[in-house]
Structure formats: structure tokens, C-alpha cells
């Protein structure tokens, strides 16, 4: 059997095999394209703005674009998250509580989004466990690969079918902060050193007039070395 035949056979496999690659009805393989935007586990770097801008450029070229944000946390939605850490909750038309990136998607793309455009690790794992309890995997050993990864693929493919999209832009964090910290320590070793840049800006005055945008010269920065 050639490699192409093997991949084609695996792609058509169902839930009763170890190769779980679900295909929703109406999904056209090879028609939809995906752009995945990832970054560090830090917030506020502009990943959402970049994703929206890239999707808008594709949309202006006449393509049908469907944005989706995939969160790495295990919350089902953003309704119970600390607003001081994640910002205000943005509620979609169908009641799904998401973060403010979805509002950026709606404004730039002029679309009314739904829960199909937002998912979390909690939603993915809850769906996998629900299928397992209902016998959806027919006694197979449920594992991260292929069942959890298959559920992620299913969410993306269902959105493509629902939106009839040519392109889907996905914003997703790569790994969780604890995993990132442990990988960094393992990679650098116990005696490695790192440097961090700390910057401070002048305090905001009590005046009601908005403070003008500070220039680079008004900020003082210093490097600090640390051992990891």
C-alpha cells in the first residue's frame, strides 16, 4: 500500500478505529484553508488584532473568512474569568460568553459570531468525555491523540462547513504556562541564566485631559539577570 493510499484510508476512518479523524457532513477536503496564529502565553501582544487584520485582508480579496479563537484554559467559557487578568467578557448573540477578541473579530469583519467561533480546552475535553460516557468510541482507549486532537479538528471543520468558508483564521495559545515553565527549565538546565527587560513610564497625572502618547525617550529601561 502506498503512502497516499494509507493516508486516504486513515482520513476516512471512523470513531471505531484507533485513527480518529472525524469529517462532518458537507466538508470538502482540500477546499478550506487554515491560518493559525500563535504566540507566547502572554496576553496583550496583539495576536487578536493581527488575526482580525489578516482575516480582513483576505475578506477584501473576496474570500469567505471564518474566525475562531481556541483558548488553552479549562474553563468552559470566559464568564468566570478574572476581568483584571482577561478583560471584560464579550457576550455573543447566542449567549456564549467570550473574551474581547471576539468583539474585535466582529467589528473588523462585520460578522455576527456564535459559539462555533469560540472554544476552550474545557469544551474540547468535556465533549470527549461525554462521547466516552455515551459509548461513542466503542470501547477504545480514549487518548489525547487521536481523540482529543480529533475533536479539535472536528470543531474547525464544522465551522468551515457552517460558514462555507474559504479560509479560517485561528488564534490559539501554544501551551499552558506551567508546561512552558517546565520545558524552559528542562531546556536551559538548572544553572542557566536569562535576562529580562524592565521598563517604567512616568506616572499619569490626575488631570482629566488624556495623557499624550509617551515617546521611547520618556521611558527608562534596565536589564536584569536571573538564574533559571
Between 20 and 16, residue with greater pLDDT:
20
Band of pLDDT at residue 47, cut at 50, 70 and 90: confident
What is d(CA 70, CA 115) in angstroms, rounded to the nearest whole number?
11
Fold annotation for 3-178: Rossmann fold (3.40.50)
Band of pLDDT at residue 178, cut at 50, 70 and 90: very low
Between 167 and 145, residue with greater pLDDT:
145
Query: How much is the average pLDDT of 64-85?
Result: 89
Q: Which long-range CB contacts under 8 A does 39-47 form with residues at least 24 apart? A: 39/173, 39/174, 40/174, 40/180, 41/72, 41/173, 41/174, 41/175, 41/176, 41/177, 41/180, 43/85, 43/86, 47/171
What is d(CA 107, CA 103) in angstroms, rounded to the nearest whole number?
6
Among 5-9, 32-36, 180-184, the least confident range: 180-184
Looking at residue 30, its pLDDT comes to 85
For residue 58, which phi and psi values (nearest 5 degrees)? Answer: -65, -40
All three cell numbers of 145, joined, read 491523540
Give the residue extent of every domain in the chain.
3-178, 189-227
Amino acid at each position: 500500500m502506498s503512502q497516499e493510499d494509507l493516508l486516504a484510508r486513515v482520513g476516512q476512518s471512523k470513531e471505531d478505529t484507533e485513527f480518529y479523524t472525524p469529517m462532518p457532513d458537507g466538508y470538502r477536503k482540500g477546499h478550506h484553508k487554515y491560518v493559525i496564529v500563535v504566540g507566547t502565553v502572554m496576553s496583550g501582544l496583539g495576536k487578536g488584532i493581527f488575526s482580525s487584520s489578516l482575516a480582513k485582508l483576505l475578506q477584501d480579496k473576496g474570500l469567505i473568512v471564518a474566525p475562531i479563537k481556541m483558548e488553552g484554559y479549562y474553563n468552559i467559557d470566559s464568564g468566570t474569568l478574572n476581568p483584571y487578568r482577561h478583560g471584560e467578557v464579550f457576550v455573543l448573540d447566542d449567549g456564549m460568553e467570550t473574551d474581547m477578541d471576539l468583539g474585535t473579530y466582529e467589528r473588523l469583519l462585520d460578522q455576527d459570531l456564535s459559539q462555533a467561533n469560540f472554544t476552550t480546552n474545557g469544551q474540547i475535553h468535556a465533549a470527549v468525555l461525554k462521547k466516552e460516557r455515551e459509548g461513542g468510541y466503542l470501547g477504545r482507549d480514549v487518548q489525547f491523540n487521536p481523540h482529543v486532537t480529533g475533536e479539535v479538528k472536528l470543531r474547525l471543520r464544522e465551522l468551515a462547513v457552517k460558514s462555507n468558508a474559504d479560509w479560517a483564521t485561528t488564534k490559539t495559545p501554544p501551551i499552558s504556562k506551567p508546561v512552558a515553565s517546565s520545558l524552559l527549565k528542562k531546556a536551559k538546565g538548572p544553572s542557566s541564566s536569562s535576562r529580562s527587560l524592565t521598563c517604567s513610564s512616568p506616572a499619569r497625572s490626575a488631570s482629566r485631559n488624556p495623557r499624550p502618547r509617551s515617546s521611547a525617550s520618556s521611558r527608562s529601561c534596565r536589564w536584569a539577570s536571573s538564574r533559571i
